[in-house]
Amino acid sequence: MAPPTIVLITGVGRGIGRALAAAYLSKPDHVVIGTVRDPKAPKAEELKSLPTASGSHLLLVGVENTNVEDPKEAVKTTEAAGIDHIDVVVDNSGVSIGAAPLEMADPKYFTESFNINVLSGVVLYQAVSSLLKKSSDPKWISVSSRGGSTSAPLPWYPYAAAYCMSKAAQNWFTQTLHVSNESLTAFAIHPGFVLTDMGIAAAIGAGIDLPETSGAKSARKIIDVISSATRESTSGKFLDVDTREEIPW
């Protein structure tokens, strides 16, 4: 009997993270390690009622993305639960704050965005790298954005400068994971324009129509990309999950 697939997803309390957790739990023989700020909070308790397929279950661990020690404690909790490796990490947590014309953007939002959108992923990788190395096919997926591409910025991106610049840094980090780990499949994805709190806020801020893609539909597309990803075909790339197009860094 094959061992279960172990998937760690950050930010499962809402949005794409929650949808991904639900989608993986609906598949047989999957253990989902989900990070939330407070595993005992009411919203976290609600996650425990997500339907699970045979051999699948959810393990919630506490990670506050501004606390660089939390990922280490989360790994201790994971290992105490009998988990000795991780097959897939989806670095999904992120914020988009301080939307304003570039000339008026508050510097503090750049620092906050970098800490959450970039540094939290770095310290998470440092904490879980030993468990990833024990997988026979380890994968790291950074949930990025087209806004992080420095090659083709769209007209409204200057209104989300802190977010977009932090995503560009996250992309650099993801490329470095690919280059420095010959056994790891590491790549970044643009999930599309998704009907989440962040997607709705972005649409309102940019004065455009609300996104039409549901979190559940986006999660299915993301999982399809992850499932077919290989070191040879996917690692080191930046992909649009809707079109499967490779986005220029």
Q: Which two tokens stand for residue 148?
A: 């992080």
The helix (H) or strand (E) run that includes residue 246 is: none
Among all chains, which residue has been given the structure tokens 């045979």?
A: 54
What is the rounded distance in angstroms from the CA atom of residue 69 to the CA atom of residue 89?
18
> What is the three-class DSSP state of 130?
helix
- Classify residue 243 as exposed, middle or buried by CB count within 10 Å of its CB (0-12, 13-18, 19+): exposed
Question: Which residue matches tokens 């009997």?
Answer: 1
Q: Catalytic annotation on 24?
A: no
Nearest to 17 by CA among 31, 2, 34: 34
Asked whether the beta carbons of 239 and 189 are under 8 A apart, the reply is yes
Cα Rg of the chain, angstroms: 17
- Residue 163 annotated as catalytic: yes
Q: What is the C-alpha separation between 19 and 9, in angstroms, rounded?
A: 10
Strands 185-190 and 57-62: unpaired
> Which amino acid belongs to residue 230?
T
Options 167, 217, 221, 237, the catalytic residue: 167
- What is the Cα–Cα distance from 168 to 177, expressed in whole angstroms? 15
- 24, 27, 163, 221: the catalytic one is 163
According to DSSP, the β-strands at 139-143 and 30-36 are unpaired
Q: How far apart are CA 248 and CA 244, in angstroms?
A: 13
Q: Catalytic residue positions?
A: 163, 167
